[in-house]
């Protein structure tokens, strides 16, 4: 049903036009019109996805008569169209009342519709030009949505940061499209990817490999759109925009990097070095995002850095060859981050009613007659914490896919799963509870349920997104490194992790007095992280210098 | 003879320092009609001169010179506050790209259309400049900001025109840049992309100094509904024209 696919990006644009024309009407009528049309898009996207699965017709592609624009339906476009339109619909419904007292109510819905249409166009684009048009429009729409409140200079400044970062991400994709067109002479994706598969060793400028160069440029584009280090500066500051925009951005727009990497998977499969680059940049971003999140005292910025960390994990997964898992991750992240943002008002209200500060243990013991918290022996806990998550992960993966362990990427993902599991159990140990055994058992049970669900859904999802098993294996294979190096790295990382946990445990047990002097190294590190590694400061300084130079040139050349 | 024609063309499809002549001329004339005629006809004279000459004399030198000129004016646009001068500098940054396109030996009609596509945004910006001058007595960014609050229709036109100046989709400049990039070498492509980035930066600074920010300056009347529709129609025709020229590639 490729014909219906046209309606998916078209309807939001129609909604935007209608909202603009009818924006003079009082009340919430235009917003409800926008919501209704977006609901139709969600129904269409759901129908397309289920029809694609049920009819099993395989990917389809179609262009308008005259070859103006083309669309496609394949697993990636079908699933992402539903996700994007679904999140957008929730944001639309939320905004109907949330934005009603804001100036520019109609304009907001028009921009929201334009943004939705642009993302959907990117998702279903069937050729390079349509993709480029959509890719550019996303940045433009985001700029105007973030700057919806037109007066505060702070809002405009941070909207500008986002816009420039997105422009930095637009241009590498343009260059990638140029290289692909110059080399293979076609624009539509099906023919393009066929030719790439037939001629993966083609060369381009300066005798560089086409696939490697294009993969590198696509990766750069994804880094800027998905806030990878050091192009992350804009993300934590986007909270100046309205809350629904934050929700849409953190749940949907920022995922564009993962989508574009998956779209160009037939290029990445021939570019091992770039997959390694994705892994390293993703890992660095995840680490820096997480550390910066922990050192922020502004909760909104902390949420922004949390998204940055998650985007780092997503890119890292792609770098490990788990392309489908990156999409699964971005969907899961989109749902929970969207919920967090849209629920922010309720959290604030709840905080006003109850401060959330836990009682002193002495108060609990004397007034509420609760027995004192107990803890399990640390040796037992250490053994359970380190071994149980590993055992659960290995058993569940072995049950879900026998050949899973043959791929290095799979081991990497297991390793991170293990780290996350240990972290959960370690945190559980630190909780004060009357019955620690029961608490530990419940957490292990929850962890098992999560792992089983994640693994089963993950493997099913991977088979849906990339039905060709040979292609999936080729992606993992391309992401692999020398076996000895890989094993050494895993062991080294495991040792670092365990030492880190032990350090954290003994620091807590020792409980150093608050006034004990910290080493200057820690203070320097803390100031470095609390100032966000000075990346924003450096950018501002460079910007000021460039503007100064431009002004001097103009004066020197007498403004002509 | 050919070299003489090329040197002459450097004044009309302006390459620095010959571009100073065009910028001085543009600044010297306040009359909108004269300015519009200058912006539309000036580069087409350059196109004619290029077509009569032989670019094969020094293609590398011409490409480098054109790129540096485009970059220089794009960079200088960042701090220009007078909207008239801003549009002249945009033209001085965009038109040199016609040299790069000409080096790819396109047809005559394509070269003319390419130059027209890059002329659209500066011409629209001249109309914005005239509208601002009429209402606020001066078209300076940062002087009378926050127009979005009181003059929504004029602000809308400024926003759309600035998007055209940034060569964003679906404006003709976007497709013109894709056309020149399609046959560009690596260094040429990087230079063009940098120029494109600088246009975006300059465009946002222009919006920040006019449409956005706290409202300041005298009370002024907004565009009439008729004028707003007229300009929207003009922009629609321009977009459709650009699509008709470049579309159908699939």
Give the C-alpha separation, B129 to B139, whole Å: 6
pLDDT at A338 (0 to 100): 84
A410-433 confidence digits (pLDDT tens): 777 778 888 888 877 777 766 666
How far is B137 from chain A, CA to nearest CA, in Å? 21
A355-387 confidence digits (pLDDT tens): 666 667 667 666 766 666 666 677 777 777 788
pLDDT at A186 (0 to 100): 93
Continuous H helices in chain B = 2-12, 19-28, 32-52, 59-77, 83-94, 97-102, 108-136, 147-150, 152-165, 172-182, 186-210, 225-246
Give the C-alpha separation, B67 to B87, whole Å: 19
Mean pLDDT value across residues B232-240: 92
Given a cut of 70, is residue B19 above it in pLDDT? yes
For residue A150, the chain B residue with the least C-alpha distance is B212
The two most distant CA atoms of chain B are separated, in Å, by 57
Residue A374, beta-bridge partner list: A433
Q: For residue B172, give Cα distances in angstroms to A142, A145, A384, B86, B166.
A: 22, 24, 64, 19, 11
For residue B182, the chain A residue with the least C-alpha distance is A178
B85 to A163: CB separation less than 8 angstroms, yes or no? no
Distance of CA A547 to the CA centre of its chain: 33
A67 to B248: CB separation less than 8 angstroms, yes or no? yes
pLDDT at A184 (0 to 100): 94
How far is B74 from chain A, CA to nearest CA, in Å? 10
Question: Per the omega criterion (within 30 degrees of 0), is the bond before A110 cis?
Answer: no
pLDDT at A431 (0 to 100): 65
Q: In whole numbers, what is the pLDDT of chain A averaged over residues?
A: 87
Give the C-alpha separation, A323 to A466, whole Å: 9
Give the C-alpha separation, A5 to A73, whole Å: 7
Closest by CA to A560, choosing from B95, B42, B91, B30, is: B91
Residue A62, beta-bridge partner list: A71
How far is B97 from chain A, CA to nearest CA, in Å? 17
Closest by CA to B100, choosing from B159, B177, B5, is: B177
B204 to A164: CB separation less than 8 angstroms, yes or no? yes
pLDDT at A376 (0 to 100): 67
**A272 in contact with B, Cβ within 8 Å:** no
Confirm if B76 and A554 have CB atoms less than 8 A apart. Answer: yes
How far is B28 from chain A, CA to nearest CA, in Å? 11
**B85 in contact with A, Cβ within 8 Å:** yes
B182 to A181: CB separation less than 8 angstroms, yes or no? yes
Contact partners, residue A469, CB within 8 Å, separation at least 6: none
Q: What's chain A's Rg over C-alpha atoms?
A: 25
A239-297 confidence digits (pLDDT tens): 888 888 988 888 888 989 999 999 999 999 999 999 999 999 999 999 999 888 888 87
Other Cβ atoms within 10 Å of A360 Cβ, number = 10
**A7 in contact with B, Cβ within 8 Å:** no
Across the interface, of B85, B196, B213, the residue whose CB is closest to A153 is B213
How far is B107 from chain A, CA to nearest CA, in Å? 19
Confirm if A225 and A169 have CB atoms less than 8 A apart. Answer: yes
- Listed by number, the residues of chain A in 196-215 with a beta carbon closer than 8 Å to a beta carbon of chain B are 205-206
Q: What's chain B's Rg over C-alpha atoms?
A: 18
Closest by CA to B155, choosing from B90, B216, B207, B95, is: B207
Give the C-alpha separation, A487 to A421, whole Å: 21
Residues of A within 8 A of B149 (CB-CB) are 103, 150-151
B78 to A546: CB separation less than 8 angstroms, yes or no? yes
Distance of CA B59 to the CA centre of its chain: 24
Across the interface, of A103, A175, A553, the residue whose CB is closest to B193 is A175
The count of C-alpha atoms lying within 13 angstroms of the C-alpha of A407, restricted to the half-sphere facing its C-beta, is 24
pLDDT at B211 (0 to 100): 93
A356-A357-A362 Cα angle (round to 5): 135
pLDDT at A361 (0 to 100): 66
A554 to B169: CB separation less than 8 angstroms, yes or no? no
How far is A34 from chain B, CA to nearest CA, in Å? 21
Q: Nearest 5°: phi and psi at A27?
A: 70, -155
- The parts of chain A modelled with pLDDT lower than 70 are 26, 355-359, 361-362, 364-366, 368-376, 402-406, 429-434, 511-519
Q: Among B212, B217, B240, which would you mutate to test the A interface (most chain A Cβ atoms within 10 Å of its Cβ)?
A: B212
Give the C-alpha separation, B250 to B247, whole Å: 8
Give the C-alpha separation, A272 to A284, whole Å: 18
Domain ranges of chain A: 1-126, 374-511, 515-560
Q: Name the DSSP class of B146.
A: -
Distance of CA A545 to the CA centre of its chain: 33
- Listed by number, the residues of chain B in 7-66 with a beta carbon closer than 8 Å to a beta carbon of chain A are 20, 23-24, 27
Counted across chains A and B, CB pairs separated by less than 8 A come out at 111
Confirm if A139 and A212 have CB atoms less than 8 A apart. Answer: no
**B221 in contact with A, Cβ within 8 Å:** no
- Listed by number, the residues of chain A in 11-70 with a beta carbon closer than 8 Å to a beta carbon of chain B are 63, 66-70
Give the C-alpha separation, A225 to A232, whole Å: 9
**B189 in contact with A, Cβ within 8 Å:** yes
Given a cut of 70, is residue B131 above it in pLDDT? yes
A175 to B213: CB separation less than 8 angstroms, yes or no? no
pLDDT at A433 (0 to 100): 67
A512-560 confidence digits (pLDDT tens): 665 555 667 878 888 888 888 898 899 999 999 999 999 999 999 988 8
Give the C-alpha separation, B47 to B40, whole Å: 12
Across the interface, of A103, A164, A205, the residue whose CB is closest to B201 is A164
How far is B3 from chain A, CA to nearest CA, in Å? 25
ipTM: 0.94
Q: For residue A342, give Cα distances in angstroms to A39, A336, B75, B222.
A: 19, 10, 41, 37
pLDDT tier for residue B155 given thresholds of 50, 70 and 90:
very high
Confirm if A271 and A215 have CB atoms less than 8 A apart. Answer: yes
């Amino acid at each position: 049903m490729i014909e219906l696919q046209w309606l998916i990006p078209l309807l939001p644009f129609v909604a935007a036009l209608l909202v603009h024309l009818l924006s003079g009407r009082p009340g919430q009528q235009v917003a409800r019109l926008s919501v209704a049309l977006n609901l139709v898009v969600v129904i269409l996207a759901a129908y397309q996805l289920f029809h694609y699965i049920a009819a099993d017709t395989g990917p389809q592609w179609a262009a308008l008569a005259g070859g103006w624009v083309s669309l496609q339906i394949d697993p990636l476009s079908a699933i992402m169209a539903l996700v994007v339109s679904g999140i957008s619909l929730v944001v639309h419904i939320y905004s109907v009342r949330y934005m009603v007292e804001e100036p520019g109510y109609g304009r907001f819905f028009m921009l929201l519709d334009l943004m939705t249409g642009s993302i959907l166009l990117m998702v279903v684009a069937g050729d390079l030009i349509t993709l480029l048009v959509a890719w550019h429009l996303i940045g433009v729409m985001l700029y105007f949505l973030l700057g919806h409140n037109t007066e505060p200079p702070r809002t405009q400044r941070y909207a500008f940061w986002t816009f420039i970062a997105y422009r930095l991400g637009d241009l590498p994709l343009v260059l990638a499209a140029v290289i692909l067109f110059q080399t293979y002479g076609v624009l539509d994706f099906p023919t393009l990817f066929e030719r790439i598969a037939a001629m993966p060793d083609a060369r381009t400028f300066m005798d560089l490999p086409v696939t490697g160069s294009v993969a590198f440029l696509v990766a750069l584009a994804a880094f800027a759109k998905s806030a990878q280090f050091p192009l992350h500066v804009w993300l934590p500051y986007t909270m100046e925009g309205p809350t629904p925009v934050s929700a849409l951005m953190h749940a949907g727009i920022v995922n564009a990097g993962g989508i574009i990497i998956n779209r160009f998977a037939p290029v990445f499969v021939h570019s091992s070095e770039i997959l390694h680059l994705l892994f390293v940049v993703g890992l660095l971003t995840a680490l820096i995002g997480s550390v910066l999140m922990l050192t922020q005292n502004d909760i909104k910025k902390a949420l922004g850095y949390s998204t940055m960390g998650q985007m780092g994990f997503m890119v890292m997964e792609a770098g490990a060859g788990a392309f489908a898992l990156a999409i699964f991750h971005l969907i899961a992240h989109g749902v929970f981050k969207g919920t967090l943002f849209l629920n922010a008002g309720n959290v604030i209200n709840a905080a006003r009613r109850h401060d959330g500060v836990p009682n002193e243990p002495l108060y609990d013991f004397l007034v509420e007659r609760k027995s004192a918290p107990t803890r399990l022996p640390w040796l037992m806990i250490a053994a359970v914490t380190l071994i149980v998550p590993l055992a659960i992960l290995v058993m569940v993966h072995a049950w879900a896919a026998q050949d899973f362990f043959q791929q290095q990427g799979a081991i990497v993902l297991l390793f991170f799963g293990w780290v996350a599991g240990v972290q959960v159990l370690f945190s559980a140990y630190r909780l004060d509870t009357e019955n620690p055994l029961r608490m530990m058992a419940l957490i292990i049970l929850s962890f098992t349920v999560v792992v089983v669900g994640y693994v089963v859904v993950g493997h099913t999802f991977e088979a849906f997104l990339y039905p060709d098993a040979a292609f999936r294996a080729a992606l993992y294979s391309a992401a692999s490194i020398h076996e000895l190096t890989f094993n050494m790295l895993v062991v080294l990382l495991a040792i670092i992790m365990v030492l880190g946990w032990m350090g954290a445990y003994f620091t807590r047990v020792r409980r150093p007095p608050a006034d004990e002097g910290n080493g200057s190294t820690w203070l320097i590190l803390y100031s470095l992280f609390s100032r966000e590694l000075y990346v924003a400061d450096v950018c501002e300084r460079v910007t000021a210098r460039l503007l100064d130079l431009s002004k001097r040139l103009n004066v020197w050349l007498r403004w002509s | 003879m050919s070299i003489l024609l090329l040197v002459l063309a450097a004044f009309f499809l302006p390459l620095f320092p010959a571009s100073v002549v065009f910028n001085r001329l543009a600044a010297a004339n306040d009359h909108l009609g004269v300015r519009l005629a200058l912006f539309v006809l000036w580069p087409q004279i350059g196109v004619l001169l290029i077509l009569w000459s032989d670019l094969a004399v020094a293609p590398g030198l011409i490409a480098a010179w054109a790129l540096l000129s485009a970059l220089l004016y794009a960079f200088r646009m960042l701090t220009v506050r007078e909207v008239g001068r801003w549009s002249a500098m945009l033209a001085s940054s965009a038109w040199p790209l016609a040299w790069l396109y000409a080096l790819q030996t396109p047809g005559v009609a394509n070269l003319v259309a390419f130059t027209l596509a890059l002329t659209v945004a500066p011409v629209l910006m001249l109309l914005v400049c005239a509208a601002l001058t009429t209402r606020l007595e001066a078209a300076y960014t940062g002087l009378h900001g926050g127009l979005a609050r009181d003059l929504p229709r004029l602000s809308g036109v400024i926003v759309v025109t600035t998007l055209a100046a940034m060569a964003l989709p679906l404006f003709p400049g976007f497709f013109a840049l894709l056309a020149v990039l399609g046959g560009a070498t690596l260094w040429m492509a990087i230079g063009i992309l940098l120029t494109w980035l600088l246009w975006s930066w300059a465009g946002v600074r222009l919006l920040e100094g006019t449409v956005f920010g706290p409202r300041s300056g005298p009370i002024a009347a907004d565009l009439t509904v008729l004028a707003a529709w007229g300009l929207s129609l003009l922009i629609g025709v321009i977009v459709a024209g650009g699509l008709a020229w470049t579309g159908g590639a699939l």
